Structure 1
Amino acid sequence: MANKPPVVPSPHDLLWGLTPQQLPADAPAWAHAALARNAPVVVRRAVAEPGWVAVGVRGVAREQRFAMWMPLTLMRRCVRPEAIARAQRWTCHKHLQWPALRALLYLAPQLNGMHLNWGVTGSLGFELASGLTAAHAASDLDLLIRAPQPLSRALAKNLCDLFDHAPCRVDVQVETPQGAVALREWGNGAMRVMLKSNTGPLLISDPWAVQRTAA
């Protein structure tokens, strides 16, 4: 039987396998506490050496974020935003009255009906995937739309109109092979949009083009 190809983590993926013992000497106490409770780390956007991945440790407070590098050999599990969306664990969340959860209940059937490759990120995605408390009643909803092929500006605008009817603020990133752009910026028809790439932000007219103009 052929071996499965190794998983290549992407930004926003959640990875398990890092323990407090692997943290660098300058890691804060809250980062040790987070990994001690089996919290995953979040893949961040940066250029990594072969065999490594750029990650961030999340603490309980919003300002508690610790950037570091993780050897891929430590990775035991990888959960992508799309897998969080497919699992639909928000339907049995104990706080279904939260606006972000009501927004998911409203949006998920419509996004699935449009056959979009979408996922949940941010604090709510972290909580739904890990079972650890990370979101709260005032949390926004952060989504990702995977778009290996160009997403038309017309569709982007229609999606923005859909999200405007959600019961909370919805922040949507469109992931292209080159990096990520804000859906709203792409849908608003700007001549150039900000692309978040592994090497830094870029101003670009076509997020799917290879040729780019540095910001």
Structure 2
Amino acid sequence: MELLVHDLLQIRHIEGIISNEKVPQWVRESLFHSPWVVVRRAPLQDGIIPIGVRGEHRNQRFGAYLPSSEVVMKVTPEQLVSQAGWRTSARLHTIRAFQILDIVSSYYGRYDWSWGLTGSIGFELASSTPTARPDSDLDIVIRMPQPLARETARTLHDWHTQLPIRVDAQLETPFGAVALAEYARHEKQVLLRTSSGPKLVNNPWSP
């Protein structure tokens, strides 16, 4: 099974999680109510998947590992866009991000990009668990195997700033992820999030 950072996984058993630390009680409670985790940015090791568990509060994030045999289902950020589940969500009139996603999807349609939804919005659409808040940011991942022109990045970022909610877009390069806003602003070094940690780089598409 091919896995990418930000993919959402439904897991089979809470006990399947592997961690060198004691698993907090909130993690068990969270997975009992919603057995979903996200693939995090870390090296994969012999069928062991690096995962993140999200809790009810922002400070509740727990990194662990999961054997691939414990995966029941995978949902990618791109699938969440193609399924457009926000249109039929019972919380459409509550969550502002849901209300603008048709506009965002239409705008992104002018580009030949593979992109998807992450964060609390993506998690809610995948798991049907009400994790988003009315004012939640809209988190987006854009798969960008080839360098993106700075002018295009600035155009997209400027369009994001006109939306009624904050958009946090990440450009996913073959070597890690860089924030669209930072890439659009800076001509020189930017922070690249890699599987071995953050690095300052001149070119996010260069090893």
TM exceeding 0.5 = yes
Separation in 2 of the partners of 1:157 and 1:103? Answer: 20
Separation in 2 of the partners of 1:39 and 1:73? Answer: 15
> What CA deviation, in whole Å up to 9, does each residue of 1:73-115 have, x standing for no partner?
2222111111111111111223334322233122111102323
Separation in 2 of the partners of 1:29 and 1:155? Answer: 45
Q: Which residue of 1 aligns with 2:90?
A: 94
Out of 46, 63, 68, the residue aligned to residue 67 of structure 1 is 63
Report the Cα offset of residue 150 of structure 1. Answer: 1.2
* TM-score, scaled relative to structure 1: 0.89
Out of 179, 183, 186, the residue aligned to residue 182 of structure 1 is 179
Give the 4+ runs in structure 1 shifted more than 3 A: none
Aligned residue pairs total: 204
Please state if 1:49 is matched with 2:45: yes
Q: Which residue of 2 aligns with 1:132?
A: 129
Using the TM superposition, name which of 103-112 and 143-152 deviates more.
Answer: 103-112
Q: Letter of the aligned partner of 1:102 in structure 2?
A: Q
Q: Which residue of 1 aligns with 2:14?
A: 20
Q: Is the 8 A contact 1:192 1:206 kept in 2?
A: yes
Separation in 1 of the partners of 2:182 and 2:129? Answer: 32
Secondary structure of the 2:169 match is strand
Superposed, which structure 2 residues align to 1:137-152 within 5 Å?
137-152=134-149
Q: Which residue of 2 aligns with 1:168?
A: 165
Q: Letter of the aligned partner of 1:108 in structure 2?
A: S
Q: Which residue of 1 aligns with 2:33?
A: 37
Query: Where do 5+ consecutive residues of structure 2 fail to align?
Result: none
> What CA deviation, in whole Å up to 9, does each residue of 1:115-165 have, x standing for no partner?
321100000100001101110112111001001111111111110011111
Using the TM superposition, name which of 48-57 and 155-164 deviates more.
Answer: 48-57
Using the TM superposition, name which of 16-25 and 122-131 deviates more.
Answer: 16-25
* TM-score, scaled relative to structure 2: 0.92
Q: Letter of the aligned partner of 2:102 in structure 1?
A: L
Q: Letter of the aligned partner of 1:176 in structure 2?
A: T
Report the Cα offset of residue 18 of structure 1. Answer: 4.2
Using the TM superposition, name which of 167-176 and 109-118 deviates more.
Answer: 109-118
Percent sequence identity over aligned pairs:
38
Separation in 2 of the partners of 1:95 and 1:17? Answer: 25
